[in-house]
Chains A and B, each alone.
Chain A
């Protein structure tokens, strides 16, 4: 086991649509280490959110996990019964922060009650089991404790007057503040892993900087491992230790952050980074022609044969059309799925 916290093995996820089966996650292998931030980057529709959801088995009804294992602390999450998933994993071992804080909070309940709900569900269950130990507190006393815990946690998240604000409703909070509330709910049961799906996309830059800073501090303090899903390469650069680049359902390159941005082994990574306009560090980028990736992200109902990137790849060879490349290590800790790298 060592430092591994969660490893995904050979995961295949398909959606059933009217037009046929769509393989959104295609034989993905991924390992998340304890206390490390792994960024999953890719363009929209590449399957990064689906991968996140399938870890918690929260896929929509049309989505099916066809094959693979998700192993955490020695057990395969995919084999656990729904009840155990709910009681032990979701929100307890693995918490989640979604893209839109507006939609992760229930508009008709007070913010405090929603936070306490998390505690009631997890600690309440435990107390029931521990009834024999005679440590059970009075329900009212217990609630007061939870409330205090919620206030302390909100306070830590940088919400002023937390004691008053827990009596307010989500609409009384701004976007950035709502995301702080969602983060409170995620961290309150001290999870060993967090899945953050574009948590700052709906926010302004100055607020985004606040939230990223907050997350960084929390991750350090609680030693939480994070699967951070984003399309923003700048954010990925700032927050992550490891990066995996996803294209059309497969991971095409994974490495530690520094190495990935410097070496850019896969043609897709190279092209993606080439498209970025106006790097703040460099000065002479004005009005130059930006590099683009020809064509479009393929339709996954009929994905291209072989390597899914080959129709858009400048280095495409014959073998790329025929076979699908496998993720292989090219230098220590740096893996790429590309035939061009193998032939070298």
Chain B
């Protein structure tokens, strides 16, 4: 049984019309941020989710933790239906699934010192009632992520970007979760600091047997850390599979273009696939295949019929009319 099973997940947001639009009879618009996606994450596995900004990858992360309420679909965590959980069960679920959010600094309360920030998980989940036990656990956590126990008395602003990131990693790992949703954990960091954070997170995975849902727009990082990868475009998964399949044999035209447009050190200066235009709005997505207006291999079928995600080979799914089993 997979650790996390997502089936046909949809998360829509309402975009309220402004006063003037209402006056002229234009009603609420619906943003289809995530529009019917399915995937599984096994234990101890890193599932990389890539896509450009606005494709819905962060919403997927928030939905599987029920930080936003999905509109429809099913999510199972260790076989239990997440969307039908009551408050008590959900509280227990949060012991096992944690989030490392995109902006380390804004996710740390500036008025709490690091000791307080890191002891909060233990207090909320009533792991122990003894203060010195919590203190010891906090010390341990700080050591594990490469900070000193003395840092417990410092406040978030006293840390550099990379150190602040370490604190959020420590907080996510405090209760030994099984699943960590890491939303762009290295965005905004310098190259050398990015490498430190990636090393730390991979070390933690080995040590605690975590599964990561690792969300990133950086293909180099996704390639480095993932076991399985899903490529998202405008609320849909267009291609999914094992890391080898995706990187050695990308089949979807969007995946091919995405890989080709990444600037790479020491690569041959080859012809690139340059996509025309930009990502359309998820309020009014194109009919048929959502990528068809930008696709360089488009045919008439693409404009009328939406392709389904089908398994082309073992552990390789593609949603494109050109690809057949």
A287 at the interface (CB under 8 A from B): yes
Question: Is A145 at the interface (CB under 8 A from chain B)?
Answer: no
State whether B221 touches A261 (Cβ < 8 A).
Answer: no
Chain B residues touching A, range = 35 or more
Assess the B219–A207 pair: CB atoms within 8 A: no
B264's partner among A234, A272, A287 (CB-CB below 8 A) is A234
Our pick among A205, A234, A288 for the contact of B265 (Cβ within 8 Å) is A234
Chain B residues with Cβ under 8 A from A237's Cβ?
A: 263-267
- A206 and B190 in contact (CB under 8 A), knowing A213-B274, A286-B223, A296-B160? no
B223→A285 contact, CB < 8 A: yes
CB distance from B263 to the nearest CB of A (A): 3
B234-270 residues at the A interface, CB under 8 angstroms: 243-244, 247-248, 257-267, 269
For B306, the chain A residues whose CB sits under 8 A away are none
Interface size class of A (residues with CB under 8 A): 35 or more
What residues of chain A lie closer than 8 Å to B223, measured between beta carbons? 277-278, 280, 285-286
Q: Does A52 contact B (CB under 8 A)?
A: no
B123 to chain A, nearest CB (A): 32
Judge if A208 is at the interface, Cβ distance under 8 Å. yes
A290 on interface, CB distance cutoff 8 Å? yes
Secondary structure at the B interface, as helix, strand, loop or mixed, is helix
Beta-carbon contact of A292 and B196 below 8 Å: yes
**B209 at interface, CB cutoff 8 A:** no
Most buried by B among A210, A272, A290, A293: A290
Assembly CA distance A93 to B190 (angstroms): 33
Q: A205-B258, A210-B275, A296-B160 are in contact. Are A231 and B190 (CB under 8 A)?
A: yes
Q: Does B31 contact A (CB under 8 A)?
A: no
Question: What string of 1s and 0s marks CB contacts (under 8 Å) between A257-269 and chain B?
Answer: 0000100000000
The verdict on A206 contacting B272 (CB below 8 Å), with A44-B190, A277-B198 known, is no
A residues 271-293 in Cβ contact with B at 8 Å: 271-273, 275-281, 283, 285-293
| Proximity bits, B174-208, A CB within 8 Å = 1, else 0 | 00000000000000001111111011001000000
Q: Which B residues fall within an 8 A CB radius of A?
A: 52-53, 160, 162, 190-196, 198-199, 202, 217, 219-226, 243-244, 247-248, 257-267, 269, 272, 274-276, 278-279
A residues near B (Cβ < 8 Å) are: 43-44, 174, 176-177, 204-210, 212-213, 231-235, 237-238, 261, 271-273, 275-281, 283, 285-293, 296-297
Q: A231-B190, A280-B259 are in contact. List 9 more A-B contacts (CB 8 A).
A: A204-B279, A206-B257, A209-B272, A213-B272, A233-B265, A280-B219, A292-B199, A293-B195, A296-B193
